[in-house]
């Protein structure tokens, strides 16, 4: 009976740890999206460049697909709800959640710079195509979303320039937290 009780305690600790990491990821994505952003005048919806992708990419690479999906999708959708972009929240939840999941899935299998770059390119494609479709649906115009593409590319590019040099070093330390 003691073994069962301690195993249950270990499982509860692991679940608590996962919940804390997920909440931390959501909070970091939200905060970096809220406080480090620039609105663009070129897109129909105003457009936005933010650094919320930095913690999203880091969490997806270090902790895997589900943490990336949850941290990114919920963190950025929460920003949409709180920041007055309410119509975008469901799209953001799916698009950014898929970005995080994809990055985590690619990087779970290979921990190389090439895999990281491939994962970020895949995330960029998901973002561009996803938000192009979302903007087309929201505004009923399939030409206007073209103006959002440069901002999306810049947003992913800036995050990649920040994440790629540091994620390898962070990965060594993250093993301690995952273990």
Q: What's the domain range around 56?
A: 2-178
Residue 52's closest CA among 114, 112, 99? 99
pLDDT range class, residue 142, cuts 50, 70, 90:
very high
Predicted confidence (pLDDT) at residue 50 exceeds the cutoff of 60: yes
CATH number at residue 123: 1.10.1760.20
Angle at the Cα of 172 from the Cα atoms of 167 and 177, rounded to 5 degrees = 105
In angstroms, rounded to a whole number, what is the distance separating the alpha carbons of residues 115 and 118?
A: 5
Query: Model confidence over 86-104: pLDDT tens digits?
Result: 999 999 999 999 999 999 9
Q: Is the pTM of this model over 0.95?
A: no
DSSP secondary structure string, 104-153?
Answer: HHHHHH--SHHHHHHHHHHHHHHHHHHHHHHHHHHHS-SSGGGGGHHHHH
Query: How far, in Å, are 96, 98, 108 from residue 66 at the CA level?
Result: 12, 10, 11
Using the 8-state DSSP alphabet, how is residue 64 labeled?
-
Compute how many other C-beta atoms are within 10 angstroms of the C-beta atom of residue 104: 24
Cβ-defined contacts of 76-83 (< 8 Å, 24+) = 76/29, 76/30, 76/33, 76/52, 78/26, 78/30, 79/29, 79/30, 79/33, 79/34, 79/50, 79/52, 82/30, 82/34, 83/33, 83/34
Total structural domains within the chain? 1
pLDDT range class, residue 38, cuts 50, 70, 90:
confident
What values do phi and psi take at 84, rounded to 5? 85, 15
pLDDT at position 169? 84
User: To the nearest whole number, what is the mean pLDDT of the chain?
Assistant: 89
């Amino acid at each position: 009976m003691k073994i069962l009780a301690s195993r249950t305690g270990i499982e509860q600790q692991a679940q608590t740890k996962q919940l804390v990491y997920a909440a931390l990821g959501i909070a970091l994505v939200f905060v970096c999206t809220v406080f480090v952003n620039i609105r663009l005048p070129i897109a129909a919806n105003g457009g936005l460049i933010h650094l919320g992708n930095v913690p999203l990419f880091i969490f997806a690479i270090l902790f895997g697909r589900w943490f990336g999906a949850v941290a990114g999708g919920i963190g950025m959708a929460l920003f949409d709800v709180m920041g007055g972009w309410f119509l975008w929240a469901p799209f953001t939840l799916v698009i950014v959640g898929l970005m995080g999941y994809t990055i985590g899935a690619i990087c779970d299998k290979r921990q190389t710079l090439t895999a990281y770059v491939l994962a970020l390119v895949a995330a960029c494609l998901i973002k561009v195509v996803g938000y192009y479709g979302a903007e087309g649906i929201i505004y009923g115009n399939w030409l206007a979303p073209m103006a959002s593409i440069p901002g999306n590319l810049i947003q992913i590019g800036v995050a990649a320039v920040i994440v790629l040099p540091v994620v390898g070093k962070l990965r060594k330390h993250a093993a301690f937290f995952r273990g």
